[in-house]
Amino acid sequence: MAEEKGIAVSDEELNARVAQMAMYQDRRPERYRQELEAEGNLQQVAVSLQEEMAANVLLADATIVEVTPEQLAAEAEEKAKAAQAEAKQDAPDEAAPAGQDAPATDTQEPKE
C-alpha cells in the first residue's frame, strides 16, 4: 500500500525516528543507529515507519460514517441475500436441461 501511495521514508525521517528511539532508551542517537545497522534492524525500523506513514494517510483520507445497529443489521442482511443470489446464479443447475437426460452416475460399488 505504501508503494502505491508513493510513501517513502527519507533519511531525515529515519534519523528522527532513530533519535526518538534512542532518547527513550537514554542512548546517543549515532551510537544507537550504528547498533541497529550492525544487528540488521535499521531496515525494520524504516519499514515500520513507512507502515505508520501509510496508516496515517489512510486515516487522513477516511470518511467516518455513524451507523445504527439496525442499519448495520439491514446492510448485513442485504449482503447475505446478494451473496446467496450470486451463489445460485453461479451454481450449475441440478436438473438436466429439458429434452436431455441427466448424466449417468455409477452407483455400483467396485469389485475387489
Walk along the chain (112 residues) and give the pLDDT tens digit of each residue: 677 778 899 999 999 999 999 999 999 999 999 999 999 999 999 999 999 999 999 899 889 889 999 999 999 999 999 999 988 888 766 555 555 555 555 555 555 5
Domain membership of residue 104 (yes or no) is no
Contact between residue 18 and residue 41 where contact means Cβ atoms under 8 Å apart: no
Count of domains observed in the chain: 1
Per-residue pLDDT at 7: 86
Our measurement of the distance from residue 8's CA atom to the centroid of its chain's CA atoms, rounded to an integer in Å, reads 19
Domain membership of residue 93 (yes or no) is no
Per-residue pLDDT at 23: 96
Domain membership of residue 108 (yes or no) is no
Cell numbers for 2: 505504501
Domain membership of residue 101 (yes or no) is no
Provide the residue range defining the domain that includes 81. Answer: 1-86
Q: Taking the alpha carbons of 75, 80, 86, 88 in that order, is the dihedral positive or negative?
A: negative
Per-residue pLDDT at 89: 86
Per-residue pLDDT at 12: 96
